[in-house]
Structures are given as structure tokens and as C-alpha cells.
């Protein structure tokens, strides 16, 4: 059965789950990162309507509970990974508050805005290609990020997005997981669990 990570009860519940694994001083640092992310993301929601912060906390849960990450900079970057891409927060805002390493990790997993003459598809393709040379810590954040986004892919309200996201994940993200045993096994199980989307995609393309 596919392992699914939950954070619907919010940060206090997730924090309590992490107390056996992470030192209190590091949890205090995560408190600050969560508050920062909540302030910037505001009332943003996920495609199925859940508060956006749930996604950020799920990424942290994957890193800590699945692969045992306790590096506080990696975990803070996990909480902040979308704040530059999806809000008015700048990378310099992140750097000033959380330091160079956290900002660097956030930068690796931030898809840039299109330059003049670039399409969104071209930007996305270049972003995914760049991840092939990402440092291992940034790659872990990305793999946990995509896991959170696809673990309940069948709840996405748009069928065409389910199909395209499945295809993109298999094509561009699953290969990134091959050097990490836990992620490799999880994504293999996920690919099987949602394999009907590959069939749906092939059927859609033939119509």
C-alpha cells in the first residue's frame, strides 16, 4: 500500500509528532519558518481546496518521518520552498531572515518567471533539466515536494492535469529519485498505483 503523509491537523500536531526526532532548539527554528511561510502564503489553497500550508508541512513530514532528515536548514527550506515562486516574497527576504544556505536551497527548487519571449512550458522544461545538477540536499526537498503534490493525485479537480502531472513526474522526477532508495521505492509504488493515468493519457492522445 502506498504510504501517504498527512498534515491536515496543522503545525501544532505535526510539531508534536516531530519532538522525538528533532531537538527543541531546532523545532523553534522551524516555528519561525512556518510562521514566515504562513504569513506570505496567506489564504492560498491547493487545487483540491486544502490550505496551502498543509503541503508545506507534508514536505517536512516526508523528510523527517520517511528518510530521517534532521538537518534544520533542509527542513526550513522545505517549509519555505514555494514562498519565492508563489508569493511576493523575494529570495533576498529569505536570505536575510534564514541565511545563505536556506536561501540557496529555496533557489534550487524555485521555478523562475518566464523571460521575455519564453513560454511557461519552456521555463518548466528548463527548470526540470536544471534539477539534474542540483545538490543532494536540494534534490531531497524537491523529491519530498513532488511526493506531497502527487500522493493524492486523484483528488486534483482537473483530469487533464492529473494526466499531464503523472507523465511529467514519471519522465522528469522519478529519474531523480533513483539515487535515493526510499524515494526510489516510493515512486515505483506510486507509478503503479496511478498507472491508469498513463493509459488515460494514451487514450486521450489517440482521440
Q: Which three cell numbers stand for residue 134?
A: 542540483
**How far apart (Å, rounded) are the C-alpha atoms in residues 64 and 115?**
36
Element (H, E) at 195: none
Q: Which of 32, 164, 20, 144 is nearest to 82 (CA)?
A: 144
Give catalytic residue positions. 85-86
**How far apart (Å, rounded) are the C-alpha atoms in residues 36 and 172?**
30
Helix axes 72-80, 91-98, angle to 10 degrees: 150
Amino acid at each position: 500500500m502506498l504510504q501517504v503523509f498527512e498534515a491536515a491537523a496543522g503545525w501544532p500536531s505535526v510539531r508534536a509528532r516531530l519532538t522525538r526526532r528533532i531537538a527543541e532548539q531546532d523545532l523553534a527554528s522551524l516555528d519561525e519558518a512556518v510562521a514566515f511561510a504562513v504569513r506570505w502564503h496567506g489564504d492560498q489553497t491547493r487545487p483540491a481546496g486544502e490550505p496551502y500550508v498543509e503541503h508545506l508541512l507534508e514536505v517536512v513530514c516526508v523528510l523527517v518521518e520517511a528518510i530521517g532528515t534532521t538537518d534544520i536548514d533542509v527542513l526550513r527550506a522545505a517549509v519555505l520552498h514555494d514562498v519565492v515562486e508563489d508569493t511576493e516574497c523575494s529570495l533576498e527576504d529569505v536570505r536575510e531572515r534564514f541565511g545563505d544556505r536556506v536561501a540557496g536551497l529555496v533557489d534550487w527548487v524555485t521555478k523562475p518567471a518566464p523571460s521575455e519571449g519564453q513560454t511557461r512550458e519552456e521555463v518548466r522544461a528548463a527548470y526540470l533539466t536544471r534539477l539534474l545538477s542540483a545538490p543532494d540536499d536540494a534534490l531531497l526537498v524537491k523529491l519530498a515536494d513532488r511526493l506531497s503534490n502527487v500522493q493524492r493525485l486523484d483528488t486534483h479537480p482537473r483530469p487533464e492535469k492529473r494526466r499531464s502531472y503523472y507523465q511529467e513526474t514519471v519522465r522528469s522526477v522519478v529519474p531523480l529519485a533513483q539515487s535515493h532508495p526510499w524515494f526510489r521505492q516510493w515512486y515505483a509504488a506510486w507509478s503503479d498505483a496511478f498507472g491508469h493515468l498513463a493509459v488515460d493519457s494514451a487514450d486521450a492522445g489517440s482521440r
